[in-house]
Amino acid sequence: MNNKKGQKKIDIAPAKNGGSGFYSDVVKEHFFKPKNFMEDESGYKADGQGMVGSPACGDVMRVWIQVDDKSRRIKDLKWKTFGCASAIAATSMMSEMVTEKGGMTLEEARALRPQDITERLHGLPVRKIHCSVLGDKALRAAINDYYRKQGETDKVEVEAGRVIDKVLKITDQDIEEAVLDGAVTLEDVQRKTKVGTGDPSCIPEVEQLIRFYREKYFGAE
Partner 1 sequence: MKVTKRQTSNVKRQEVYLDHAATTPVDGRVIKAMMPFFDTCYGNPSSLHAPGQKAHKAVTDARNSIAGLLNAHVDEMVFCSGGTESDNLAILGTVNMSKAELKRMYGKNAVPHVVTSAIEHPAVLEPLLKLEYRGEIELTQIKPGANGVVAAEDVFKAIKSNTVLVTIMLANNEIGTIQPIAEIGKLILKHRKVNGSIYPYFHTDACQAAGYLDLNVEKLHVDLLTLNGGKIYGPKGVGLLFVRRKTRIEPQVYGGGQERRLRSGTENVPGIAGLATALDIAQAKREKESERIAKLRDRLIKGLLKIEKSRLNGDAKNRLPNNVNVSFMDIEGEAAMLYLDAKGVYCSTGSACASTSLDPSHVILALGMSYEAAHGSMRLTLGKSTTKKDVDYVVTIMPGIVRRLREISPVSLDMKQF
**Which residues are CB-contacts of 197 (< 8 A; sequence separation ≥ 6)?**
57, 168, 190
CB nearer to partner 1: pick between 38 and 105: 38
- CA–CA gap between residue 64 and residue 67 (Å, rounded): 10
202 catalytic? Reply is no
Q: Tell me the Cα Rg of the chain.
A: 17
CB nearer to partner 1: pick between 73 and 130: 130
Catalytic residue among 10, 13, 52, 57: 57
Label residue 201 exposed, middle or buried (CB < 10 Å: 0-12, 13-18, 19+). Answer: exposed
84 catalytic? Reply is no
Instruction: Tell me how far, at minimum, the Cβ of 120 lies from partner 1, in Å.
Output: 19
Going through 116-159 in order, the beta strands assigned E by DSSP cover none
Catalytic residue among 63, 124, 131, 195: 131
- CA–CA gap between residue 119 and residue 116 (Å, rounded): 5
Instruction: Tell me how far, at minimum, the Cβ of 37 lies from partner 1, in Å.
Output: 5
Residues that bind partner 1 (CB under 8 A): 31-32, 34, 37-39, 51, 55-62, 80-88, 127-128, 130-131, 190-191, 194, 197
CB nearer to partner 1: pick between 62 and 73: 62
List active site positions. 57, 131
